[in-house]
Structure 1
Amino acid sequence: MEFADVVRRRRMVRDYDPDRPVPPEVRERLLEHAIRAPSAGFTQGWAFLVLESAADRDLFWSVTAGEGAPDAWLTRMRRAPLLVVPLSSKAAYLDRYAEPDKGWTDRDETRWPVPWWDVDAGMAALMMLLTAVDEGLGACLFGVPAERVDAVREAFGIPGTHRPVGVVSVGYPGGDDRRSPSLRRGRRGVDEVVHRGRW
């Protein structure tokens, strides 16, 4: 598929065919492409928690979902045969920029106007989303509710040095092609968001 087609076709898929697992070679390509994302100082301070077995996926949903019966969104999302949790490590970036070629020996966090550790993990997630489209799969990036992050950490042994920046669900699209109501807003045009030379 041409790159322009991949970009045009990329959308958040929220329903999956539960009977079609992601082939192992495709899963590996998703991860190989994720680590090709750019990272500040070539720090590569990311990690990826892969949840593929039914037991792991069920555990994830049990610690992130609220009480009671799942709503329609959650019911469809739970069908995804693959979940990948991109994690960021702030410490990796502070350490990297204290190295001689960067020269910030004090590891001062205030030098960072934005948290590049999270930005870079987000870029890795985007690489997975684009790869999924190229492979004929659907994918969605969604967040872990703030009050459930500690439960996810505990359930999967995520060290305190890493933080989940979201979850990428991956699988073959299911039969429910419902689009998000948010799309009714329409995509903003280039002329609305680009400012050339001055705002």
Structure 2
Amino acid sequence: MEFADVVRKRRMVRDYDPDRPVPPEVRERLLEHALHAPSAGFSQGWAFLVLETPEERDRFWAATTSAEDEQTMDAWLVRMRRAPLIIVPLSHKRAYLERYAEPDKPWQDLDESHWPIPYWHIDTGMASLLMLLTAVDEGLAACFFGIQAEQHPPFHEAFGVPDDHTAIGCIAVGYAGADDRRSPSLKRGRRGVEEVVHRGRW
């Protein structure tokens, strides 16, 4: 598939065929491509939790959804839970603080104030986008979604995730299901180049 087609076809899919697992070789390509994302100082302060078995996925949904979610988002959850593969990208801030305290970098104090922009989250986000684009190129569907603030501790506990790693979101991957409902947010329309690009000055 041409790269321009991959970009145009990328969208968040919220329903999956539960009977078609993601082939192992495709799963590995998703992860390998993520590692080609840029990272400040080549810090590579990211990690990826891969959940594939029914038990792992059930534990994930139990840890990351509340009773209120069950009541108010039931249809969304039912369709999302069909995804045969969940990848949780996690950022690791300390990897960046320590990398920039090395002799070829300017700081030795591990002070987070040197970082007005949290590149550990940004770089992990770019790795996530590479996985989303790879999924399209492989003929798969995917959706990036978040974990609510109050669900982070249960998620960490359920999977033994170290406290110094932060789940910046989750990526559901699989083959698209029959329900092709789009997000109602899309009714807002895509902003055009003329609205968002400022040439030369604001």
TM-score (norm 2): 0.97
Q: Tell me the alpha carbon deviations over residues 71-92 of structure 1, each in whole angstroms, 9 at most, x when there is no partner.
A: 1111100000000000000000
Tell whether 2:53 aligns with 1:50: no
Q: Which residue of 2 aligns with 1:73?
A: 76
Code of the aligned partner of 2:28: E
Code of the aligned partner of 1:94: L
3-state SS of the aligned residue for 2:29?
A: helix
Distance in 2 (CA, whole Å) between partners of 1:129 and 1:77 is 16
Q: Which residue of 1 aligns with 2:90?
A: 87
Runs of 4 or more, structure 1, over 2 Å off, are none
Kindly state the Cα deviation for residue 139 of structure 1 after the two structures are TM-superposed: 0.4
Q: Which residue of 1 aligns with 2:62?
A: 62
- Alignment match of 2:100 (pick from 97, 105, 112): 97
Tell whether 2:160 aligns with 1:153: no
Q: Tell me the alpha carbon deviations over residues 117-169 of structure 1, each in whole angstroms, 9 at most, x when there is no partner.
A: 00011001000000000000000000001100000000000001211000000
Distance in 2 (CA, whole Å) between partners of 1:51 and 1:86 is 11
Distance in 2 (CA, whole Å) between partners of 1:140 and 1:38 is 22
TM-score (norm 1): 0.98
3-state SS of the aligned residue for 2:128?
A: helix
Q: Which residue of 2 aligns with 1:34?
A: 34
Q: Which residue of 2 aligns with 1:132?
A: 135
Distance in 2 (CA, whole Å) between partners of 1:161 and 1:65 is 22
Kindly state the Cα deviation for residue 64 of structure 1 after the two structures are TM-superposed: 1.1
Kindly state the Cα deviation for residue 63 of structure 1 after the two structures are TM-superposed: 1.1
Structure 2: runs of 5 or more not aligned: none
Tell whether 2:172 aligns with 1:172: no
3-state SS of the aligned residue for 2:87?
A: strand
Q: Which residue of 2 aligns with 1:107?
A: 110
Q: Which residue of 2 aligns with 1:17?
A: 17
3-state SS of the aligned residue for 1:87?
A: strand
Code of the aligned partner of 2:25: E
Kindly state the Cα deviation for residue 103 of structure 1 after the two structures are TM-superposed: 2.1
Aligned pairs, number:
199
